[in-house]
Amino acid sequence: MLLIGMLLMAACSGGSEDASSEKSKGNGENPAKDRGNELVIGVSGDPQNWDPIDTFLLDWSTIATSVFEGLVDRNLDLELEPGLATEWEYLDDKTLQFKLREGVTFHNGEEFNAEAVKFTFDRLLGEEGAKGPQQANYTSIDHVEIVDDYTVNFILKEKDPVLLTKLAGYGAVIVPPKYIEEKGDEHFNTNPVGTGPFKMTEYKRDSKTVLEKNENYWKEEGAKLDKVTFRIIPEASTRLAELQTGEIDIMKRVEVSQVKNIEDSSFLELQEVGTPTAFSLRFDVAKKPLDDVKVRQAINYAVDKQAIIDEILSGYGKPISTFQSELSFGNNPDLKPYPFDQEKAKELLAEAGVEEGTELDIYIPGNDGNFKEIAQAVAFYFEQVGLKANIQTVDSNTLTSDLMPNGNAGHMYRQGWGGWTLDFDNTAYLMYHEGEFWNPSFKDKKVEELLAAERSTTDQEKREEIFMQLTERLHELAPELNLYSAVDLYAVNKRVKNFQAPHEDRMRLENVSVE
Distance CA 64, CA 61 (A): 5
Distance CA 156, CA 154 (A): 6
The secondary structure of 363-411 as a DSSP string is EEETT-HHHHHHHHHHHHHHHHTTEEEEEEEE-HHHIIIIITTTT-SBS
Report residue 23's pLDDT band, with 50, 70 and 90 as the boundaries: very low
Residue 5 has pLDDT above 80, yes or no: no
Res. 16: pLDDT tops 50:
no
Tell me which H or E stretch contains 98. strand 95-100
d(C-alpha 186, C-alpha 64), whole Å = 17
Q: Residue 435, exposed/middle/buried by CB under 10 A (0-12, 13-18, 19+)? A: exposed
What is the rounded CA–CA span in Å between residue 133 and residue 136? 6
Flag whether pLDDT at 64 surpasses 60: yes
**Strands (E) located in 244-345:** 250-252, 268-283, 317-318
pLDDT digit string, tens, across residues 274-319:
999 999 999 999 999 999 999 999 999 999 999 999 999 999 999 9
pLDDT at residue 7 in the model: 52
How far apart are the C-alpha atoms of 108 and 494, rounded to whole Å? 34
Give the integer Cα–Cα distance in Å for 448 and 57. Answer: 28
SS3 121: helix
Q: Highest mean pLDDT range out of 45-49, 162-166, 300-304?
A: 300-304
Query: In the predicted model, what is the mean pLDDT of residues 452-464?
Result: 94
Whole-number Å distance between alpha carbons of 66 and 194: 9
